């Protein structure tokens, strides 16, 4: 566990707020299907008409694209 994850000082809160802002921007940059897949999996499989395994793989790809979008937003 990262020691900063349990820190509670003003600079920690500011950094977390900034990361949250970047995460929202990165999510907004993704296509709607990727955005949905980043959020959950099992109910998405049914909603998107995919098998669970296919939804899980699609979610992993969507998360990879989210990470790239997040890094670009920094």
Return the residue matching tokens 């920690």.
12
pLDDT mean over 6-11: 74
Contact 49, 58 (CB under 8 A): no
What tokens does 31 get? Answer: 């296509």
Mean per-residue pLDDT, 5-13: 73
Q: Does residue 1 carry a pLDDT above 50?
A: no
Res 6: pLDDT = 64
Q: Is 66 a residue whose pLDDT tops 50?
A: yes
Q: Is the pLDDT of residue 10 over 50?
A: yes
Crossing angle of helices 32-39/52-73, nearest 10°?
Answer: 110
pLDDT in tens, 13-55: 888 888 888 888 888 898 988 887 777 776 778 888 888 888 8
């Amino acid at each position: 566990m990262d020691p900063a994850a349990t820190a509670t000082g003003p600079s920690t809160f500011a950094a977390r707020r900034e990361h949250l802002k970047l995460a929202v921007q990165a999510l907004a940059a993704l296509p709607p299907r990727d955005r949905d897949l980043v959020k959950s999996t099992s109910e998405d499989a049914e909603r998107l008409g995919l098998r669970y395994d296919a939804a899980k793989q699609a979610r992993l790809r969507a998360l990879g694209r989210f990470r790239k979008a997040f890094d670009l937003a920094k």
